[in-house]
A = this chain, B = another copy of it.
Amino acid sequence: MAVPDHPPRAVVLLSGGLDSATLLALARAQGHTCHCVSFDYGQRHRVELEAAARVAAALGAVEHRIVRIDASALGPSALTGSGAVPKGRSAAQMNGGIPATYVPARNTIFLAFALGIAEALEAEHIYIGVTAVDYSGYPDCRPEYIEAFQRLAALATKAAVEGRPVRLHTPLIGLPKAEIIRTGHRLGVDYALTHSCYDPDPTGAACGACDACQLRRQGFAAAGLPDPTRYAGA
């Protein structure tokens, strides 16, 4: 077997949140040279893009690029400023359906760009931090969706046709939030650099009550680790 002349390259989808920071740390720990990609799709929590840049630098990514997505065509979503971000929901409510923060085809668009970027970089790996345990509302985070994209990717590109299909990695998909936090903690992730809140105040402080904040807060508590998040009014 030929020895590759460079460490394997990976495209890592990095939102700037807790999950994707852990994802990057795992990709690095598995020996990949990591090219991080974030998307500016008009999200109301654009502050997460600054968090992504901090995380990429802190965890040794060789590159961090931000791709602009024209999401105006994708209709209203609470994540892009139309309607209120749900607050104070119970776990049952969070898992009871598709939330108002759903953006049509978001992960399909993200993975499509990741596929093209990976081919351009001759990277054979894509890391995406979907989770399907604590938050099962999004259809495009489920294992069967990821498997379908993997099959598509094996047919979609010149690289695949030539025998170098890209491989999707979803190491977080089966982990509860507390386990994700423990994993990142072990790998030296500084979660103070990350941002999860869907509805931060103008200073970037987290609201503490949206689904993302609740899951994050409960995750640190369950992991028995201090929560470094700066909450509004705290």
Contact = CB atoms under 8 A, between A and B. Distances in A.
Interface residues of A, number: 44
Given A112-B109, A145-B155, A148-B155, A104 B75 contact: no
Nearest to A122: B75
A108 B98 contact: no
A68 interface: yes
Contacts of A117: 73-74, 104
A116 to B, nearest CB: 3
A112 B120 contact: no
Interface string A110-130: 011101110111000000000
Interface string A144-172: 11001101101111101100000000000
A67 interface: yes
A158 B139 contact: yes
B149 A152 contact: yes
Contact of A104 (B103, B106, B116): B116
Contact of A148 (B70, B74, B152): B152
Nearest to A68: B70
Contacts of A89: none
A138 to B, nearest CB: 9
A142 interface: yes
Nearest to A110: B112
Interface of A: 37, 65, 67-70, 73-76, 98, 102-109, 111-113, 115-117, 119-121, 139-140, 142, 144-145, 148-149, 151-152, 154-158, 160-161
Given A73-B117, A98-B158, A109-B116, 10 more contacts: A69-B70, A74-B120, A103-B116, A106-B116, A112-B112, A139-B158, A140-B155, A144-B155, A145-B156, A148-B154
